[in-house]
Amino acid sequence: MANQRVMLITGASTGIGAAVARQACSEGFRLVLLARSQEKLASLQAELSGDVLIVPADVTSREQLTAAVDAAIARFGHIDVVFANAGTGGSPGGFSGADPASWERLLMTNVYGLALTLQCTSDALKSSRGHAVITSSIAGRRSLAGSMYSASKWAATGIGHGFRKEIGKHGVRVTLIEPGMVDTPFFDSPKPDMLKPEDVARAVLYAIAQPAHMEIHEMVVLPMAQQDSDTVP
């Protein structure tokens, strides 16, 4: 019998989000893909062979997220997995010298946008006794000098654990994925010794594939080249 599960992915157009979309599609998931770029979403949709709904949306907009969830329910009837993946990086300069405008964009996306995503999908997850998977980072486990990005990922980790305590009684599982450096468009130049988005995608699908009585709380995924390094995405 074909897999009829539905996965909603934020930050789906590139990098880890797109890799998870490809892997999930290959395993038969029906997909709801969210990102700000209509053009990139359409390109990914054309590449995928499964049943895919694309919804241009900004995770910092409750109205856009609500509309996306409504569209997903109208199309598929339910949402089984939410991969809350949308995120952005900061700017150099540390706490003493970085552009404060970059902090606002970063925190709105990585913290506020994550919380909104979970809020707007929580009823659907309760109904399906589903699974929320959150992209945090090893930077959410190690404090990095002058890094607002690291601070935002500490917040993401805290949100994930708090959401689990709130929603677990409804049969919803919550998993934090905490990768090290990943070779994605996040960086200006290739990082050949680092993880590929497909490596993280395999971790995400592994967590989802576990039986309903089992919950993976956290998965730390590091490249061998980063084992003793505090350099993180």
CA dihedral 173, 40, 113, 139 (to 10 degrees): 70
Residue 63 phi/psi, 5-degree rounding, is: -65, -45
Name the nearest CA neighbour of 218 among 103, 149, 140, 144: 140
Intra-chain end-to-end CA distance of the chain, in Å: 39
Contact 217, 175 (CB under 8 A): yes
The region, left, alpha or beta by phi > 0 then psi within -120 to 50, assigned to residue 156 is alpha
112 is catalytic: no
AA identity, residue 139? A
> Which residue out of 149, 150, 160, 194 is catalytically annotated?
149
Helix residue spans in the chain (DSSP H): 15-26, 38-47, 62-76, 94-97, 100-107, 114-128, 148-167, 197-209
Residue 57: its H or E element:
none
How far apart are alpha carbons 51 and 45 in whole angstroms? 9
Q: Which two tokens stand for residue 177?
A: 């994925």
State the catalytic residues: 149
